[in-house]
Amino acid sequence: MIRCCSFVGKRGNGAQAISIGKNCDKFGIVVHGLGHVFGIWHEHTRPDCDQHVDIVTRNIMIGQEYNFNKLTEEEASEHYCTCGMQEDVYQFGLDGITHLL
C-alpha cells in the first residue's frame, strides 16, 4: 500500500522523509504532509478533542487505530493548539465510511 505520510516534527539527523506516493501528488495533500514535517498535529488528536469531534472507532481500519490516539498536555505544544490540521474524514475508514463526525 502506497501512503501519503510524514512523521510529525524532525526525526533524527539528516533529511526528513515525506512519502508522496501514487495519488498523493496533489497540492493540498503535499501541503498537509509538510504541515506534519513542521510539527503540526491533527485536530482530532488534541487533548480536548472529545469536546469537538466524535470518533467512530468501529469504522477505523484494523491497524490504524493509533492515528486516533489523543496527545497528552505535554505533547501538545502551544503552537499545535493554535494551528492544528483536519484529517480527511474517510482516511483510515472502512470501505469509505467516515470515522470523524
Taking CA atoms, 33 is separated from 1, 24, 41, 84, in Å, by 17, 10, 10, 13
Is 79 labelled as part of a ligand binding site? no
Residue 32 annotated in ligand binding:
yes
Query: What radius of gyration do the chain's Cα atoms show?
Result: 14
- The reply to whether 36 sits in an annotated binding site is yes
- Note whether 100 and 87 are within 8 A (CB): yes
Could you list the residues known to form a binding site for Zn(2+), using ranges: 32, 36, 42
Could you list the residues known to form a binding site, using ranges: 32, 36, 42
